[in-house]
Homo-oligomer: A and B are copies of this chain.
Amino acid sequence: MAEIKKQQWTPELAEFHKELGDKNMGPLWASVFSAPEPKPRAVPYLWKGELILEMLEKAKELLKVGVGSIDRRAVYLINPGMKHLEPHGWGGATQTLYAAVQALNPGELAPPHRHMTSAMRFIMKGKGASGVVNGVKYTFEPGDFVITPEWCWHDHVNEGNETVFWMDVLDIPFTSALTSSFLEMYPESRQPVEHPVDFGTKRYAGGMVRPISDRRPSPAPLGRYKYDLTIQAIDGLKELEPDPFDAYIVEYINPSNGKDANGRIGARMQKLPPKFKGKAHRHTHSVVYNVYKGSGYTVMNGVRFDWKAGDIFVLPAWTWHEHVNTSGTEDAVLFSANDLPIMEAFGFEREEAYTENGGHQEIKS
């Protein structure tokens, strides 16, 4: 972890460094593995919703989902700063998080499988689809948050009349780094449903209470977090002072252990009230934002990214950011997924408020 080098780099040393490389070794004194602060490969970036939908429209024309054709019709987002990572930029929207938008047409079935990567979905548009997670069928409605923790069987079907769109977030880049993933296909085209439809959702219809049979920690006692209940919670917060950075924000929890709903990937929903102008801060955890309602912009490391409903943007590690709702009348609603559970597990999480200039970055572009 050499840092300040006063050493002269002679031709002799250069020769020696080359020799080391040939022998599958490296000179620590001439390498930089740590900087004073994190330097994420990922860059701040935004994908316009129209563009994503346009791509999915093409995919719908060209490809059918189902047994015998493709398994999932999803377009994933590649962070421009990670494109060089093989394969496929590690599917990295941020250092640790994969994000994609998936479209399922009426009548289509995405067959069951399971994997060590962990998944969550945010339902963006359309009704009639559902997913089965470990024997429980969950209906998908816009604004819902649905989890598929690692190694749970899952399939999706659209039994309605319109295409349903959702965002998938997985920890694929993290798993790629560890090279420890497993994947298994289910032997049938669908898994059996062993509980009433929306079992978990019926068991958690309100209040900070749980059925007593969920007293022992388990991975997903509640698989689908309905939009209306989440908004009810956020609207309760609106009677209080907003958070300076995030206004009114909640995180989804697993009722059996009080941890994140999906143990490896955090998820949050927030409302920025009309004209909210957040202050800037940064943290080591990275975030994928999905704009569900409203319009505004986020400044990331001095660059302004304008957004409106349907857009997806990403915040890399340790990047200054502040959120603004530009509407004078409408709330903005942002869903987000983060790698905070990973950061916290090993003491990597840090946070810092931006103190200069009244807490606001200068906008460079």
A contacts, CB < 8 Å to B: 1-7, 10, 12-13, 16, 19-21, 23-29, 31-42, 45, 47, 51-52, 55, 58-59, 62-63, 68-80, 83-84, 86-89, 91, 95-96, 98, 100, 102, 113, 115-117, 150-151, 172-185, 196, 199, 201-213, 215, 217, 222, 225-226, 229-230, 232-233, 235-237, 239-240, 243, 246, 249-259, 261, 263-264, 268-269, 284, 316-318, 339, 342-343, 345-348, 350
Whether A230 lies near B205 (C-beta < 8 A) is no
Residues of B within 8 A of A7 (CB): 63, 69-70
Whether A179 lies near B235 (C-beta < 8 A) is no
Whether B116 lies near A249 (C-beta < 8 A) is no
Whether A115 lies near B1 (C-beta < 8 A) is yes
Residues of B within 8 A of A246 (CB): 212
Residue of B nearest to A255 (CB): B208
Whether B62 lies near A12 (C-beta < 8 A) is yes
- Measured between alpha carbons, how far is A6 from B210 in the docked complex, in Å? 45
Whether A55 lies near B237 (C-beta < 8 A) is no
- Measured between alpha carbons, how far is A25 from B196 in the docked complex, in Å? 38
Residue of B nearest to A41 (CB): B179
Whether A117 lies near B72 (C-beta < 8 A) is no
- Measured between alpha carbons, how far is A206 from B178 in the docked complex, in Å? 34
Residue of B nearest to A230 (CB): B207
Residues of B within 8 A of A181 (CB): 33-35, 38
- Measured between alpha carbons, how far is A258 from B201 in the docked complex, in Å? 18
Question: Shortest Cβ distance from A262 into chain B, in angstroms?
Answer: 11
Whether A208 lies near B217 (C-beta < 8 A) is no
- Measured between alpha carbons, how far is A46 from B76 in the docked complex, in Å? 38
Residue of B nearest to A227 (CB): B207
Whether A91 lies near B26 (C-beta < 8 A) is yes
Whether B250 lies near A6 (C-beta < 8 A) is no
Whether A347 lies near B150 (C-beta < 8 A) is yes
